[in-house]
Amino acid sequence: MTTAMLRVHQAGPLVTIQDSGRPSQMRFGVPASGPMDPFAHRVANAVLGRPSDAATIEISVGGLMLECEVGPITVAICGGGFRIEHNSLRCSAWTVVTLHPGDNLRVAAGDYGSWCYLAFSGSLEATRWLSSCSTHVRAGLGGRVVTAGTELIIHDASADEDRDGPVEPPIDARPTRLLRVVLGPQPNCFGESAVETLLNREFTLTAASDRMGVRLNGPTLPLGDALSIASTPIVRGSLQVAGDGTATLLLADHQTTGGYPKIATVLSDDTNRATQLRAGDIIRFERVEPHEAIVAARTSASLRNRQLEALSKRPGIEARQLLSTNLIGGIHHQADTDTDTDTDTDDVPTETTVA
Amino acid sequence: MVDVEYQPVGDQGVLVVFGDVIDDFTISSVQALDAALAADPPIGMTEAVPTFTTLLVCFDPLITDHPSLTAAIENTLNSVAAAISSDLDSGSKAGSKAGRTHTIDVCYEADCAPDMHAVCARMDLSPASVIAAHSDASYTVGMYGFAPGYAYLHGTPSPLQIPRNPTPGPPRPAGSVIIAGQQCLIIPSVLSTGWYAIGRTASAVMTDDDNHPFRFDVGDTIRFNVIDHDEFHRQSTDLINKRAYHINNDR
């Protein structure tokens, strides 16, 4: 057990420290923040045997380059389909690797996905606020934004080389394009036609997107006489419609209240998966009843637990060493193709449901 | 009898809607239910988020669901309904039963009040009458919103109810006391806003104490005490020294 130090040489915008967030503070204007893709964050910690709320680096499509100055330390990268290089050698998109002093790690945007998580065999030094070191970017509270020159200090660092190797992404790691919604909570603010438009037309994610939310481009959702309503609470997953009829999907660093009406709320698991979409991607909304939303939440929670359990029993060291030898030889990693295959789980919508 | 509407919020909450109009009865009702739920939370409730006219009750969908939570809220509401009505009949101000009272020192002079002239001109008042009206009133913390620590205070007296400017003005420093319509805010961070800055306090509304990071809770009562510019500067210097002391001791 020792202290490791990784020096960041390059970081895209919105690369931040995130643990599992600070729930139950919305009454003070504080959203939970935490990872945009909470499951990928959990996996990154789980494959290192770390607690699920441990602090990680959330990496955006802007990517990250770092060098190990003091080590060794084992790290995991999970989430999306990023391009990972360890000392210029390509690794699988979801991977565990041990960094020694002088080693370089490069994370860049890959085939798909907007966020991935760098977790550590050890405890990342970070500023806590309200019992969490998740970064609330706009308020500048908790954690920190990671930029070129940032020194990442990891206490109780360990080298667990027997964990090194590819991690197989869950079958639904690719983002959903069909988002299930419960209508409301302000149905009276919208006419029939707005709801019909929401449920029957396509919407495109715009580049007006950050940890707070993403603005959608699509047909106008006309408001009724609703422009002067009193502010009401916003949650992660709220679809808020501005005066000009454009919708915004609110995400991890959302405002906690807002004066524009909310036409619907996206189911939590679909919101989490949708964060891996990119600007230009097309989505659709499907209406479910509240009781169906509860069933979906319970189904996805037990699916997530099974997936985490399976990942904690990764294949034996020999098999993984063989796989990494193949990778170095230039053979494409199986995980990249696995996620293309459709699945037989009815409870989780996949891309093909829409296409 | 308190007449409310329950609306589902995805797989994570129930929104209790008390009405569309911000008035004392509605604010009192929201805060009475909020306090009662906090005192005896229904099974599976994770947090409650009050606004002036609604209360969002969040839940863990692995533990409860919309109908069960709604039934529990309905029970709690019935148990406090009588109290809300009798409070209002006896002429209590909104929220006055629920919380604590805080007195905040405010300087309404010179560079602490950059929009004083604009408010005087628009509302046809002298600075002295603006200061008297603002500091004589008592305010209820109605909700937090916008960003961490932004507590919306309800109770700005009618002569000062100036419509917000549609375009944001120059940035105002943390601690500025800003007004628009019936509302008043002490901003915890630098902000460009269409609201009017008529004073400034040296008291921090967000603290460095992780156990009590926010000085106000919804339902608390706020009163303002007029201080002059010299006193404001003395308090500001004290605050800076205290901060420096804390930072040095943390190291």
B contacts of A185 (beta carbons < 8 Å): 7-9, 15, 17
Concatenating the DSSP letter of every residue in A254-318 gives --SEESS-EEEEE-HHHHHHHTT--TT-EEEEEE--HHHHHHHHHHHHHHHHHHHHHHHTPPPHH
Facing B10 at nearest CB: one of A256, A266, A298: A266
> Average pLDDT in the A278-293 region?
98
Best CA proximity match to B11, nearest among B59, B68, B46: B59
The tokens for A342 are 């459709």
Mean pLDDT calculated for residue range A257-273: 95
What pLDDT is attached to residue A300?
95
Buried b vs exposed e over B43-72: b needs ≥16 C-beta within 10 Å?
ebbbbbbbbbbbbbbbbebeebbbebbbeb
For the range A348-355, what are the long-range contacts, defined as Cβ-Cβ under 8 Å and sequence gap of 24 or more? A348/A172, A348/A176, A348/A269, A348/A300, A348/A303, A349/A176, A349/A178, A349/A180, A349/A270, A349/A286, A350/A172, A350/A174, A350/A176, A351/A174, A351/A176, A351/A177, A353/A178, A354/A177, A354/A178, A354/A284, A355/A177
Confidence of residue B87 (pLDDT cuts 50, 70, 90): low
Instruction: Give me the pLDDT at residue B92, please.
Output: 54
Residue the block writes with tokens 């964990």: A163
Predicted confidence (pLDDT) per residue in B122-138, tens digit: 999 999 999 999 999 99
- Record the tokens describing residue A108, joined without a space: 């860049």
User: What value does the mean pLDDT of chain B take?
Assistant: 90
The lowest-confidence range among A196-210, A305-319, B184-198 is A305-319
Q: Which residues of B touch A (CB under 8 A)?
A: 7-13, 15, 17, 20-22, 46-54, 56, 58, 61-62, 65-67, 143-152, 189, 210, 213-214, 217-218
Is pLDDT at B239 greater than 70 in this prediction?
Answer: yes
Please name the member of B52, B54, B148 whose beta carbon is closest to the beta carbon of A141: B148
Mean pLDDT of B79-92: 71
- What HEC string does chain B produce? CCCCEEEEECCCEEEEECCCCCCHHHHHHHHHHHHHHHHCCCCCEEEEEECCCEEEEEECCCCCCHHHHHHHHHHHHHHHHHHHHHHHHCCCCCCCCCCCEEEEEEECCHHHCCCHHHHHHHHCCCHHHHHHHHHHCEEEEEEECCCCCCEEEECCCHHHCCCCCCCCCCCECCCEEEEECCEEEECCCCECCCCEEEEECCCCCECCCCCCCECCCCCCEEEEEEECHHHHHHHHHHHHHHHHHHHHHHC
Task: Quickly tell me which residue has 């006896």 as its tokens.
Answer: B90
In Å, how far is B213's CA from the nearest CA of chain A? 8
d(CA A17, CA A19): 7
Per-residue pLDDT at A122 exceeds 70: yes
Q: What is the pLDDT of residue B89?
A: 61
Distance from CA of B55 to the nearest CA of A (A): 8
With beta carbons less than 8 A apart as the criterion, state whether B226 and B157 touch: no
Report the residue of A132, A138, A227, A232 to disrupt the B interface, i.e. the one with the largest count of B CBs within 10 Å.
Answer: A232
The predicted pLDDT at position B207 comes to 80
Token representation of residue B42? 């229904």
* Lowest-confidence segment of A57-66, A205-214, A298-307, A341-350 by average pLDDT: A341-350
Tell me: pLDDT of A310 over 90.
no
**A294/B47 touch (CB, cutoff 8 Å), yes or no:** no
CB atoms within 10 A of CB A231: 21
Separation CA B128–CA B125 (nearest Å): 8
Closest partner CB to A267 (pick from B11, B143, B148): B11
Q: Residue B90: how many CB atoms within 10 A of its CB?
A: 7
> Is A28 within 8 Å of B189 when comparing Cβ atoms?
no
Question: Does residue A187 belong to the interface with chain B, where contact is any CB pair within 8 Å?
Answer: yes
Q: Is the pLDDT of residue A232 over 60?
A: yes
Locus of tokens 């002429």: B91
CB of B118 within 8 A of CB of B196? yes
Contacts of residue A238 in chain B, CB cutoff 8 Å? 9-10
- Whether the per-residue pLDDT at B90 is higher than 80: the answer is no
What average pLDDT does range A188-206 have in this prediction?
93
CA distance A329 to chain B (A): 46
Which residues of B are less than 8 Å from A290 in CB distance?
8, 11, 65-66
Decide if A274 touches B, using CB distance below 8 A.
no
Q: Over 60: is that where the pLDDT of A264 sits?
A: yes
Nearest to B51 among A128, A181, A257 (CB): A257
Identify which of B8, B61, B147 has the shortest CB distance to residue A297.
B61
More confident residue, B88 or B228: B228
For the stretch B144-155, pLDDT in tens is: 998 899 999 999
Cβ contact (<8 Å) for A129 and B210?
yes
- Going by pLDDT thresholds of 50, 70 and 90, the confidence category of residue A354 is very low
Q: pLDDT-based confidence at A189, cuts 50/70/90?
A: confident
> Chain B contacts of A256, Cβ < 8 Å?
49, 144-145
Q: Residue A351 pLDDT > 50, yes or no?
A: no
Contact B10 A237 (CB under 8 A): yes
Asked if residues A107 and A81 have their Cβ atoms less than 8 Å apart, the reply is no
Whole-complex ipTM? 0.89
The token pair at A286 is 């499907």
Task: Look up residue B205 and give its two tokens.
Answer: 């509304």
d(CA A39, CA A308): 9
Average pLDDT over residues A338-349: 33
Beta bridge partners of A81: A112
Between A240 and A191, residue with greater pLDDT: A240
- Please name the member of B7, B214, B218 whose beta carbon is closest to the beta carbon of A185: B7
What's the rounded mean pLDDT across residues B28-41?
Answer: 95
Copy the structure tokens of residue B145. Answer: 């919103």
> How far is residue A76's CA from residue A165's CA, in Å, rounded to a whole number?
9
Beta bridge partners of A282: A204
Q: Which residue of A has its CA nearest to B66?
A: A290
| Chain A positions in Cβ-Cβ contact with residue B17 (cut-off 8 Å) | 185
B210 and A130 in contact by Cβ < 8 A?
Answer: yes
Span B203-217, mean pLDDT?
A: 84
Rounded Cα distance, A202 and B198, in Å = 47
The pLDDT score that the predictor gives to residue A259 is 84
pLDDT at A281: 97
Report the candidate in A80, A84, A74 with the shortest Cα–Cα distance to residue A50.
A74
The answer to whether residue A355 scores a pLDDT higher than 90 is no
A296 and B CB contact within 8 Å: yes
CA A199 from centre of chain: 25
Residue B88 is predicted with a pLDDT of 62
Distance in Å, alpha carbon of B139 to nearest chain A alpha carbon: 17
Q: How many whole angstroms separate alpha carbon A70 and alpha carbon A3?
A: 8
**Within 10 A of B175 (CB to CB), how many other CB atoms are there?**
26
Q: How far is CA A36 from CA A149, A256, B66, in A?
A: 24, 16, 26
pLDDT in tens, B158-190: 999 999 888 888 999 999 999 998 899 999 989
Looking at residues B11-39, what average pLDDT do you find? 94
A92-101: average pLDDT: 97
Q: How does the average pLDDT of chain A come out, rounded?
A: 88
> Which of the residues A22, A24, A28, A273 would you substitute to probe the B interface, choosing the one with the greatest number of B C-beta atoms within 10 Å?
A28
Q: Give A124's pLDDT tier (boundaries 50, 70, 90).
A: very high
